[in-house]
Amino acid sequence: MNQKTKNILKTALPLLLGVFLVWFALSKVSVEELLVYAKNADYTYIILGMFLGLLSHLSRAYRWRFQLEPMGYNIKLGNSIMAVFVTYLINYTIPRAGEVARASLLTNYESVPFEKGFGTIVAERIADMIVMLGIITLTLFLEFDFIYNFLIEKFDPIKIVIALVGLIVLMLVFFRYIKRSHSKLALKIKAFVNGLIEGALSIFKMEKKWAFIFHTLFIWGMYVLMFYVTSFALEETSNIPLAAILIGFIAASFSIAATNGGIGSYPLAIYAAFSIFGIAEEPSIAFGWIMWASQTLMIIVFGGLSLLYLPIYNRRKSLNDK
């Protein structure tokens, strides 16, 4: 398979999957039913959720400057903010293309070499992944009894133990193979893992590491709070337990990687998570669509304005500098 075909598949498959999942979600709850939920929703909480999402994006843009300063690049906050919104907007069209565009914008408007800008984005994603793993671990700790009882109820305990032991054995064998092997796959995996470790440790070497860590925790705190606050928009989801919020948030976060911006997959992921707690299908999917639509609307508005205003903003800056 040549590179052109691979690129086409990388773009087309998530889009096709998203279209299929939208159709599947609408087969569960019709557009007419979704409109009823949307009409009866409390938009105070939806707007508040959008505001919290906006704060997380602004914090991400501000955090990015901490990574660039040690390399001698003091970029304008306006460019950083607009580049972040453009990233999210472009990711709705081509998966992960937004990160490339973000580094390119930094090269065009701030003269930061592409590889350096892209490297900071990779390191930033590593920090986000660590926090996400922390949220998963915290959820497992806080809701251990519920998760344990759910698994025991749904699955044979002996089979669970056998599966866990088998998984541990497979992981040990796999790591041993990767450690000793010199195959292309093994070398790529080792390089990837080493890159993750190096990227994570680099955070503690930067001058404003504590500010970076604060903003990282703030970003994800706003994400969780955004999810929690928006749940009050529908009467049926206004009293769901903390476990449902956390597990629903985790499922929704992973769904974004499945399709472009989580289209189609986002409401279904929330429905799958909420169904564990006996929350009805219709309000679960409706809440998922409200969450996805409100945040997508914000990205389209601010991302679109950023694309239009970026050249104007930088032209004015260059004129003022003369």
What is the residue type of 73?
A: Y
CA distance 90 to 233: 28
pLDDT at 42: 94
Residue from 93, 13, 73 nearest 303 by CA: 93
Amino acid letter for position 115: E
The CA-atom distances, in angstroms, between 70 and each of 75, 118, 120, 254 are 12, 15, 11, 32
At which residue do the structure tokens 């089979």 appear?
Answer: 159
Q: What is the pLDDT of residue 224?
A: 95
pLDDT digits (tens, 9 = 90+) for 161-173: 787 788 888 888 8
The whole-number mean pLDDT for each consecutive block of 10 residues of the chain, a chain of 322 residues, reads 58 64 72 89 95 96 88 88 92 80 89 84 86 90 75 69 82 80 78 64 75 93 95 92 91 84 88 89 92 93 92 74 54
Instruction: Give the pLDDT of residue 50.
Output: 95
pLDDT score, position 61: 94
In this prediction, residue 10 carries a pLDDT of 57
CA 259/CA 152 separation, integer angstroms: 32
One-letter identity of residue 67: Q
Give the pLDDT confidence score for residue 199 in this predicted structure: 55
pLDDT at 200: 61
Burial level of 86, CB count in 10 A (0-12/13-18/19+)? Answer: buried
pLDDT at residue 159 in the model: 72
